[in-house]
Chains A and B, each alone.
Chain A
Amino acid sequence: MTVSRTFTLTTAEQARVEHIDQLVALGPSGVDELISTMSDPSWTVRRASVAALASLGDDSVGPLCTWLSDQRTEEHSIAAAVDALAASIGKSTTVAVMAMLADPRPAIAADAAQILGRRRATEACAILGKAISHVDDNVAVAAIEALGAIGGSAAIDELIAVMGHRNFFRTFPALQVLAKSGDPRAVAPLASLLDDETFCFEAVRALGRTGSAQAIPPLASLLPRSGDAIVRLIALALADLVTRAEWIGVAAQVVITMRECIGPSLVRFAAALRASDPEERAALAVVLGRIGDESVIPELARLLDDPELHTIATEAIQRIGELHDAAQIAALAVDAATRVAVLPIVNSRAAAASVRALLRDENGEVRARACEALARIGDSASVPQLFATLDDPNPRVALAATAAIQSLGVADTAKRVIAALQHGSPAVRRYALRIIAYMGFAEAYEPVSLAISDADPRIAELAVASLGAINDPRVDGLLAEIAVSPTPTLRAAAMRAAVNRLGENAGELLERGLADDFAWVRYYACQGLGRIGRANAVEQLIARLADATPHVRISAIEALAHLETAAAWQALCSVIRSGDPDERRAALISVGLRPGDAALPFLFEALKSTDVATRLIGLSGLARRPEDSALEHVAVAALDPVAEVRDAALSLLGERWDRAAAEALVDLALACDEEHPVHLTLSRPGACRIAAIAARLANVDDRRAPILASALARMHEGSATTTLFEALTLTNAAARRAAATTLIAMAVDGAYKAVTRVAREDPDLEVRRVCAALVAA
């Protein structure tokens, strides 16, 4: 029933593609025939033709330009020629296409403009700027769009001039390009369109895309218009504006301006939520989260039921709550969904009493989050109630209470937990044992020993496992007795407990466990021997690699990772290509834990696996390895199509504090689009990253300089800001412009004075003009 998405070649198509490969091999002499294949009826063959012509570089540029200028036989061939020139690797391509832009025939000039845009040919900006005023609309629009694709603020004057003419065809694309230019001079001409009904809607949205605080007053000037429609439209623009400002690193300044200009209309924005579509509601929630107070929380709470808006509404409520203690407390009184949303950010002691009351809320998630909040607040007065909560019927709540008790750790916890061991509810007794296992109270030895005889087998197991944490000399003897108990699960629990014991007794106990009949005893014995690093157990663990039970074999593999002997290494290498994926992954984890470059080939191979978990394990094995090749592989993994792998790679790069890793991040940031999470990683404060960005600012172009300046701004850190000030004196004009724009948007101390000086003294006219506009705004 589904349409196939794979493009299977017919035999004839396959033959034609192979012929194209042969023509490529001929070099220049094959070009004419290759050009003829652009008219092949098969799309797939034409793609092969385009790729072949592009790969021939300079050899095909002249013939392609000539064909595009003089022949232009049919549409799909023209499209193929444009594609080939756009992707061409020739050094002469851009110059040749720039010459075509001067062709008097509009169709050819428009194609040339499109090609230059797709090539992101910054050297063509000047002539594309002139083409904006071409008599033919198609050429002008193609030039505008090309400048948009190239990015930066080239030809800003020409684009602004288009705003003044209000030509229907040219103004719409031009305002989009202006909005994304990041140039401070773009805001005023965009704002000038607000009083023109034809362009007002698009101008509002474009102002939002500027990410500039200067765009907010013009947007607010529309608010006196009646009705919700304008409020919803402005909200859409403001949501874009906040997103863009966050990227630039100036969200704080934008929010201040929003509060000043939009704050008085807060009630209208809150009311507009009710009659909006989902996209508008999302935008309104973003705005309300930035400028709202506790009065808007009930309206935002209504969005929590909508799966599509739940996350945005939660963020909005949390933002308001983070700013005002009163809002946190007010939100806790709204409804269960709002309580669930706000509890993760409650951190004020003023809210403690309200949170304690929620331990009796009818909603389980609220009760669980209340436990977590009390731990976060450090509310030791809540410990008695948390102990009472161990009896909650919802395991998530009881476990949250357990974790909170462990976290708060007050003086009488031991007394209370021992009392809880006598509780009538088996669940409470289990949670009490978990607390003992975590906190290890010596005075709990006797009651825990008694609990081993509990009728509930889970309690008995937990009691045995808890013994490991109790500092009492009788524990080792008791564990030895349990290790030969007729109950297999208790023997397994004894192995778990033994891991936490020090000394020879534990090692011997675990070694004996390797021969147990019950697989889980052998499993935990292997695990324990690895964790205590018992090197003389290597041979016994290697023997377990042939265990009949898969998880025992895996546990033996994991244990060998901790034992740095040659025999252990050989054994790991022997199982790394096991037929069982879990064994392979366990071996890979183990190999990755070994220092030295012998592990690298295995880890690099893992990064090529189709299995996501294997790639992730390969990456974790590369963490903190000093070899250049390790860094290169991690950087490549940062472009992995699977988010988990990509994020793990970025996390590894972000955790490194060396210059090489920082430079890899800069390279990635300059190569990736703005949505890629590498930008967030690059903007984590760090001396190595600041130094790498500063070095790259010295020679980066107009399109890339703002990327680096924004990364510094997002660090919100003194030395990063200092680097921006220093960039005002770099020889690279693009860096000076980007730094000046960013510093003024950040509104940091000294920025106005420094940029004023640049506006007056900079050797570059364009930099002076930009800075003058910044200062004037």
Chain B
Amino acid sequence: MGEPALTPPLFAIFSDLIEKACGVHYDAGDRPILESKLSTHATELGFDSLLDYYYRLRYDDPGAVELHKLVEAILVHETYFFREYRQLVQLCDHYLTDLVRTRGRARVWSAACSTGEEPFTLAMLLEERGLLDHVEIVASDVSSDTIVRAKAGLHGKRALRDGHPPEVASRYLDAGAAGYAVVPRIRDAVKFATINLLDDASVRKLGRFDAILCRNVLIYFHDAQILKVLERLARSLEPGGLIAVGVSESLLRFGTSLVCEERGNAFFYRSGA
């Protein structure tokens, strides 16, 4: 038994199935990556053919249990502490600080937090500024497995990379042989939830936020899907609230009602309504 192959037609039907399930879009150039992930997963389930596996997902998967497992297996969980750090600093110093001063409280949502490094980093920065008790941090991801890992607050060595502020990291991350443990004060400050950004009802249940972090997520989505997600995120913003996307992402080409603005040295998208 060799590894099952992902032919171009199979790639097309699988990528369509996955995009409908979680929004992640695969381009033609991603076929080897998807093939590797799919064939590992299908082989583990005992399939020699990806087409047999596809029919299992399509016609013999009550409750979409296997499809959910597949999505869990193929999602990219690449993140690390202090990633695009400057933007988070600017968010704290040029927005959340003022908000807490004037309103007493603020809410922030890390909308695709993976294993939690992003919301934990934000919590560290807020703690440094004495704001942590005044800001509610909600963090979500489509993958329930990663949310379980995020809640544990235990991270591998690659979760901390070059360019991080060592003094902040050392205060809130306990280094061990296997990696880093987030200190309880920071770990407990983040509320985690499993949310699919394509699921309107789940997103609505979270309520409104003053800031939404949706960084390095939209790069995995197709334009039509991005527009839908942005629409949902914009509806979840308080008037004047901010959305932060990754430094290599731009929403300008989508012509949304969000206004791009610079705060400090970082860019955010502000809700006009």
Contacts and interface: CB of A to CB of B under 8 A. Distances in A.
A612 B255 contact: no
A704 interface: no
A2 B257 contact: yes
Interface in B1-35: 1-3, 8-13, 16, 27-29
Nearest to B27: A643
Contacts of A406: 2
A647 B9 contact: no
A235 B230 CA distance: 37
Nearest to A278: B248
Interface band, chain B: 35 or more
Interface in A401-451: 403, 406, 434, 437-438
Q: Is the interface of B mostly helix, strand, loop or mixed?
A: helix
Interface residues of chain A: helix, strand, loop or mixed (majority) = helix
B144 interface: no
Contacts, number: 94
Interface stretch (B55-63, B146-154, B192-200): B55-63
A581 B258 CA distance: 39
A406 B3 CA distance: 11
B72 to A, nearest CB: 13
Contacts of B202: none
Contacts of B56: 551
A308 B2 contact: no
Nearest to A620: B9
B227 interface: yes
Contacts of B40: 395-396, 399
Nearest to A1: B257
Contact of A438 (B2, B29, B227, B254): B2
Contact of B255 (A5, A395, A582): A5
A297 to B, nearest CB: 16
Contacts of A523: 52, 55
Interface stretch (B41-49, B109-117, B131-139, B206-214): B41-49
Contacts of A617: 9
B167 interface: no
Residue among B27, B39, B59, B255 having the largest count of chain A Cβ atoms under 10 Å: B59
B249 to A, nearest CB: 11
Contacts of B58: 550-551, 582
A465 B43 CA distance: 13
Contact of A554 (B55, B158, B162): B55
B9 A305 contact: no
B231 interface: yes
A397 to B, nearest CB: 10
A24 to B, nearest CB: 33
A613 interface: yes
B234 A643 contact: no
A3 B255 contact: yes
Interface string A464-499: 011000000000000000000000000000001000
A462 interface: yes
Contacts of B44: 395
21 contacts: A1-B257, A2-B257, A305-B161, A307-B78, A307-B219, A395-B44, A399-B3, A399-B43, A434-B1, A434-B43, A437-B1, A465-B1, A520-B60, A555-B55, A585-B13, A611-B12, A613-B13, A617-B9, A643-B27, A644-B8, A648-B8
Interface of B: 1-3, 8-13, 16, 27-29, 36, 39-40, 43-44, 46, 48, 52, 55-56, 58-60, 78, 158, 161-162, 216, 219, 227, 230-231, 234, 248, 254-258
* 4 closest Cβ pairs, A-B complex: A613-B12, A551-B55, A643-B28, A3-B255
